[in-house]
């Protein structure tokens, strides 16, 4: 008889924090986004419906798959055609960023128990499951996932810089326009200050909110950053650009020690006029140098649409990094509703 046991946990707080994080640190593909503190912050701020699947061996966790159930937005033209009237939902391993199954041992059986466990605890209103990760190492599960009905999506990508190179080599590989902007940035009286999120939470959040009001996008609730500041502050760095004595912009970075990646996460440049001081160039430069100094393997620029005409794609490309497709897999549980939803999404989808 197998010693493995699969259970549903409706909050990460139902699991011992050290045991959960030990799986992240010892397992395949564990990252900051899988850690107990990050999952707890998501549960605190977004009020999701957690459906975490935990596999244990003799009482010790050997694998888990975080899942959050959320309602799917439906265009009227799609909902009118559906044979059901209750709200449709999707289970995702990551909200709002990345996540996927994390395993320590017993891979074949543990994988089955994770995915079978998810299907057994989702009701008819949950029509699909998705997981998303920047870790292309998940490709090792590609055939397994295909056999379970998962299909890849390639509408998102990330840019990474290899931090084995020194700053001079990285700068030399940037496009001419970016190098020119850096030279202009250095002609000012400037300095870059670093702090943990907890030290300047409210000021940073205010600048971040104004940034999103200006450019558009989904604003994370204050409670999300507050929870990270209280329980995970050492993993969230704030880089602040000071030009001629004035705060002209901030970037939030995540220290993903498990994956060896320094992630650029949130931008907090509240005033468009501040771009004349080149805060983006100054902040990325200091963060990249910090990543090199601290021994991170890669610098991540965050997700963007995978289209050559996308403005954010073009901006990040000029730093000389390599574009990496997001490992994003989806499968439908309802053979009638899911194809209709996908057709509607393809036609009406707005950028996420």
Query: pLDDT tens for residues 265-315?
Result: 999 999 999 999 999 999 999 999 999 999 999 999 887 876 666 677 877
Write the pLDDT tens digit of every residue in 50-78: 999 999 998 899 999 999 998 876 655 55
Same structural domain, 137 and 249: no
Given this model, what pLDDT does residue 12 score? Answer: 96
Structure tokens at 188: 């000012």
Same structural domain, 49 and 173: no
Write the pLDDT tens digit of every residue in 35-54: 999 999 999 999 889 999 99
Residue predicted with more confidence, 84 or 157: 157
Q: Is the pLDDT of residue 351 over 60?
A: no
Structure tokens at 164: 């084995």
Same structural domain, 141 and 250: no
Residue 243 gets the label, from left (phi > 0), alpha (psi -120 to 50) or beta, of beta
Given this model, what pLDDT does residue 1 score? Answer: 47
Same structural domain, 334 and 301: no
Q: Tell me, what CATH number does 249's domain have?
A: 3.40.630.30
User: How many domains are contained in the chain?
Assistant: 2
The closest of 311, 314, 284 to 299, measured between CA atoms, is 284
| Domain with 250 in it | 158-325
Same structural domain, 343 and 280: no
Close Cβ partners of 185 (under 8 Å, ≥ 6 residues apart): 277, 278, 281, 282, 285
The span from the CA of 36 to the CA of 38, in Å, is 6
Same structural domain, 140 and 252: no
């Amino acid at each position: 008889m197998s010693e493995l046991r699969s259970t549903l946990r409706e909050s990460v707080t139902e699991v011992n924090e050290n045991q959960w994080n030990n799986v992240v640190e010892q397992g395949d593909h564990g990252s900051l986004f899988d850690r107990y503190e990050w999952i707890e912050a998501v549960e605190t701020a977004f009020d999701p419906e957690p459906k975490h699947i935990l596999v244990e061996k003799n009482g010790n966790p050997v694998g888990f798959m975080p899942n959050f159930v959320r309602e799917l937005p439906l265009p009227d033209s799609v909902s009118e055609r559906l044979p059901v009237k209750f709200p449709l939902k999707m289970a995702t391993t990551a909200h709002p960023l990345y996540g996927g199954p994390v395993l320590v041992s017993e891979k074949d059986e543990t994988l089955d128990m994770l995915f079978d466990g998810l299907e057994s605890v989702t009701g008819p209103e949950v029509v699909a499951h998705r997981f998303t990760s920047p870790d292309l190492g998940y490709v090792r599960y590609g055939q397994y996932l295909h056999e379970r009905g998962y299909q890849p999506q390639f509408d998102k990508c990330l840019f990474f810089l290899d931090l084995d190179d020194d700053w001079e080599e990285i700068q030399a590989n940037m496009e001419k326009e970016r190098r020119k902007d850096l030279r202009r940035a250095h002609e000012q009286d400037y300095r870059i200050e670093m702090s943990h999120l907890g030290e300047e939470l409210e000021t940073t959040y205010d600048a971040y909110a104004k940034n999103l009001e200006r450019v558009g996008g989904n604003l994370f609730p204050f409670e999300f950053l507050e929870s990270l500041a209280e329980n995970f502050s050492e993993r969230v760095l704030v880089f602040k650009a000071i030009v001629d004595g004035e705060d002209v912009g901030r970037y939030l970075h995540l220290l993903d020690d498990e994956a060896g990646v320094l992630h650029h996460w949130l931008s907090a440049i509240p005033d468009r006029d501040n771009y004349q001081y080149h805060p983006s160039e100054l902040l990325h430069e200091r963060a990249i140098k910090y990543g090199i100094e601290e021994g991170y393997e890669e610098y991540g620029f965050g997700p963007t649409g995978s289209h050559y005409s996308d403005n954010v794609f073009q901006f990040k490309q000029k730093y000389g990094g390599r574009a990496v497709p997001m490992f994003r897999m989806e499968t439908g549980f309802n053979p009638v509703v899911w194809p209709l939803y996908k057709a509607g999404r393809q036609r009406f989808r707005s950028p996420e």
